[in-house]
Amino acid sequence: MNSSNTILSEESIGRYCQLTEEAKKIDKELKELKQRINLYFDESVGVNEKGEITLGDYKITRQIRNSESYDDVKTVEKLEALNLNDCIEYVKKPDPKKIEAVITLGLLDSNVLSDCVNHKITQAIVVRQK
């Protein structure tokens, strides 16, 4: 028996499947409870308002976080129209489509950029019951 069989068994895969199902149920229930808590705060202190209540041994606080960002295309257009080019950031980055095109056309040997390529590897586990 090799060491991989001692690490992985049908029982451990069964437990993995069971826990995955339980996690889905827990996530669903948490989402529903969060919606109920937010609904309570919406009705008692107002939509998107912070609040705090105490129920028995529990103190529940709702915090409101707000973030803003500029729409890239619209903002750049307006800044250019106002001649405020100093407020526009120009980022140099390679265009993968154009690089592939020049390699395909034979204008660039792919080996020239081989040390520039970043490889990303991700792992995924899928378990299905027969």
Q: pLDDT tens digits for the chain (130 residues)? A: 455 567 899 999 999 999 999 999 999 999 999 999 999 999 999 999 999 999 899 999 999 999 999 999 999 999 999 999 999 999 999 999 999 999 999 999 999 999 999 999 988 878 777 7
- Using the 8-state DSSP alphabet, how is residue 116 labeled? G
What's the pLDDT at 5? 61
Question: What SS3 string covers 69-115?
Answer: CCCHHHHHHHHHHCCCHHHCCCCCCCCHHHHHHHHHCCCCCHHHHHH
Specify the pTM: 0.64
- Asked whether 25 and 33 are in contact (CB, 8 A), the reply is no
What's the pLDDT at 4? 59
- Asked whether 17 and 129 are in contact (CB, 8 A), the reply is yes
